[in-house]
């Protein structure tokens, strides 16, 4: 029976179904323990992205598409007029990639956010944690894997959305957008973000790809809404649901008809043809 993210017994119920494909309305999702390993998958051959995912993602619990990207004029023409893969070199990855501690590639996106797995300096069952933050992910300091160029939903427990919002008692001068000053910052409950505003302005059935981590429960959630599914779910509703469940880190990746999900070797959501020809980055978890 599907486990709803709105269930009051969500954590108890999902603990018996870690790593399995679940569905809540338009959203397909998988929950994994923090003992999982995050891996970046990158297409370098002239082949379909789905072929790369099937080969490089063999044995992984779940793989989804990665960050935003640009395609050269020649690459766009190739994708529109043919049914063959576009050379990987025609795609520019918008966001830094780190895999197993080393920079794998991707263009710096210092004004965006990242999602990463960082080793912790102690031993035990949990030797790593997952985090989000503003800027490019940096190698070193235990950063095992990360993907940049993403949009924020929840960062360090703070919700992001349309406009700065404050709890009662905030000074009248607290800004609606931009970075709040020291006097207003303690009252901030939502930080404005233009990437979020732009993504939220698209039709609700537009495809979505989400990564989230709950530090308290030592769990991550990997979720995809297939493009065109009606009525779909908004980023605002997703953010609020995740925050209520205790997810203190959550981001959105490239969406629309790029959204892709493979669970235990089986396709749950596949990208549209042109995106399958041009996409080069995926995120997988063991």
pLDDT in tens, the chain (286 residues): 789 999 999 999 999 999 999 999 999 999 999 999 999 999 999 999 999 999 999 999 999 999 999 999 999 998 888 778 999 999 999 999 999 999 999 999 999 999 999 988 765 677 889 999 999 999 988 999 999 999 999 999 999 999 999 999 999 999 999 999 999 999 999 999 999 999 999 999 999 999 999 999 999 999 999 999 999 999 999 999 999 999 999 999 999 999 999 999 999 999 999 999 999 999 999 9
Q: Is residue 209 part of a domain?
A: yes
14 falls within a domain:
no
Residue 237 in tokens? 């509703």
Model pLDDT, residue 127: 83
Residue 9 confidence (pLDDT) = 96
> Which residues 6+ apart lie within 8 Å of 84 measured at CB?
78, 277
Asked if residue 11 belongs to a domain, the reply is no
- Do the domain assignments include residue 5? no
All residues at 6 or more sequence positions from 146 whose CB lies less than 8 Å from its CB, including other chains? 38, 96, 97, 98, 114, 115, 116, 117, 137
How much is the pTM? 0.95
Whether 12 is in a domain gets the answer no
- Say how many domains are in the chain: 1
Helices in the chain by DSSP H: which ranges?
A: 10-14, 49-56, 73-81, 194-200, 235-245, 273-278
Cβ atoms 147, 38 nearer than 8 A:
no
Structural domain that includes position 266: 21-168+177-285
- What pLDDT is recorded for position 83? 79
The phi and psi torsions of 73 (rounded to 5 degrees) equal -60, -40
Nearest residue to 136 via CA among 127, 146, 144, 145: 146
Residue 7 belongs to some domain of the structure: no
Give the pLDDT score at 122.
Answer: 66
pLDDT, position 123: 59
Cβ(45)–Cβ(86) under 8 Å? Answer: no
């Amino acid at each position: 029976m599907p486990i709803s993210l709105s269930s009051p017994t969500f954590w108890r119920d999902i603990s018996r179904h870690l790593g399995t494909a679940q569905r809540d309305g338009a959203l397909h999702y998988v929950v994994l323990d923090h003992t999982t390993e995050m891996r970046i998958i990158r297409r370098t051959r002239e082949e379909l992205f789905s072929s790369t995912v099937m080969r490089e993602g063999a044995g992984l619990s779940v793989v989804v598409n990665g960050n935003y990207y640009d395609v050269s004029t020649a690459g766009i023409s190739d994708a529109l007029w043919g049914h063959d893969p576009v050379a990987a070199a025609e795609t520019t990855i918008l966001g830094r990639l780190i895999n197993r501690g080393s920079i794998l590639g991707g263009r710096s996106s210092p004004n965006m956010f990242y999602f990463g797995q960082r080793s912790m300096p102690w031993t035990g069952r949990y030797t790593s944690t997952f985090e989000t933050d503003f800027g490019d992910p940096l190698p070193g300091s235990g950063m095992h894997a990360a993907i940049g160029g993403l949009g924020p939903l929840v960062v360090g427990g703070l919700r992001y959305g349309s406009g700065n919002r404050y709890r009662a008692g905030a000074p009248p001068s607290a800004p609606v957008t931009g970075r709040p000053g020291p006097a207003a910052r303690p009252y901030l409950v939502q930080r404005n973000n233009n990437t979020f505003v732009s993504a939220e302005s698209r039709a609700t059935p537009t495809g979505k790809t989400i990564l989230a981590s709950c530090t308290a429960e030592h769990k991550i959630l990997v979720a995809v809404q297939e493009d065109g599914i009606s009525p779909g779910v908004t980023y605002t509703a997703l953010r609020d649901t995740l925050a209520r469940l205790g997810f203190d880190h959550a981001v959105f990746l490239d969406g629309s008809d790029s959204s892709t999900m493979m669970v235990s070797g089986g396709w749950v959501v596949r990208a549209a043809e042109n995106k399958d020809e041009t996409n080069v980055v995926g995120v997988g978890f063991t």
